Amino acid sequence: MTDKASLRKLAAERRAQVHGVVDVAPALKHLADVLGETAGRVSFFWPIRTEIDPRPLLEALSAHREVCLPVTTGYAPLVFRPWVPGTAMIADSFGVEVPVDETEVIPQVLVVPLLAFDERGHRLGYGAGHYDRTLGKLRPLGPVVAVGFAYEAQLAETLPIDATDQPLNAIVTEAGIRRFLQS
């Protein structure tokens, strides 16, 4: 089965089976290790559905590093808004919590959600292309590190890759760190 719609459905089911069951503490530690090797502002994601939750690290990192959250603006690259504990939030059209303050910033590191990933550093998202467009826009401007954050159960044997798909620099799960591209 190689069509993306079917793969998304299966990947969402696999993720749902482990969500709330897998201990995410090792994944958060691995993510902290990877982020500790980077510099600049870090974009996290506010989890929806059964996405692994990076918020404990978002809060901890915000004490000594600039962090931000992505905001969708249609089928366009994401924009990013600063976040600190206590930031006023509102649900966007997808039901994702985003900062109310519309100040925009540019991250140098992106923690990226996904439905599935492969051993080559590719990800399968929800299909709107937000992160692919964003990385396509940001990478020509300077070094950008994109780190997928997921459960190990989200590993797929293979994924169909389109010309516009942007590979990740690393993928972090509770099982460890996979590294791919250098920034």
Provide the residue count of the chain. 183
Q: With 90 as the cut, is the pLDDT of residue 150 above it?
A: yes
What does DSSP say about strands 170-173 and 145-149: parallel, antiparallel, or unpaired? parallel
* CATH code of the domain containing 96: 3.40.50.10420
The pLDDT-based confidence of 60 (bands split at 50, 70, 90) is very high
Cα–Cα nearest to 45, from 18, 68, 79, 12: 68
Q: 183, 143 in Cβ contact below 8 A?
A: yes
| pLDDT tens digits, one per residue of 116-140 | 999 999 999 998 899 999 999 999 9
| pLDDT tens digits, one per residue of 63-121 | 999 999 999 988 889 999 999 999 999 998 888 999 999 999 999 999 999 999 999 99
Distance CA 181, CA 152 (A): 20
Q: Average pLDDT, stretch 45-51? A: 95
What is the domain range of residue 108? 4-179
Q: With 90 as the cut, is the pLDDT of residue 2 above it?
A: no
Q: With 70 as the cut, is the pLDDT of residue 183 above it?
A: no
Of 50 and 182, the structure prediction assigns the larger pLDDT to 50
The pTM for the full model equals 0.94
Distance CA 96, CA 111 (A): 16
Number of domains in the chain: 1
Q: Could you tell me the CA-to-CA distances from 1 to 5, 50, 69, 115, 152 in Å, in that order? A: 10, 23, 34, 16, 20
Q: 79, 13 in Cβ contact below 8 A?
A: no
| pLDDT at site 95 | 84
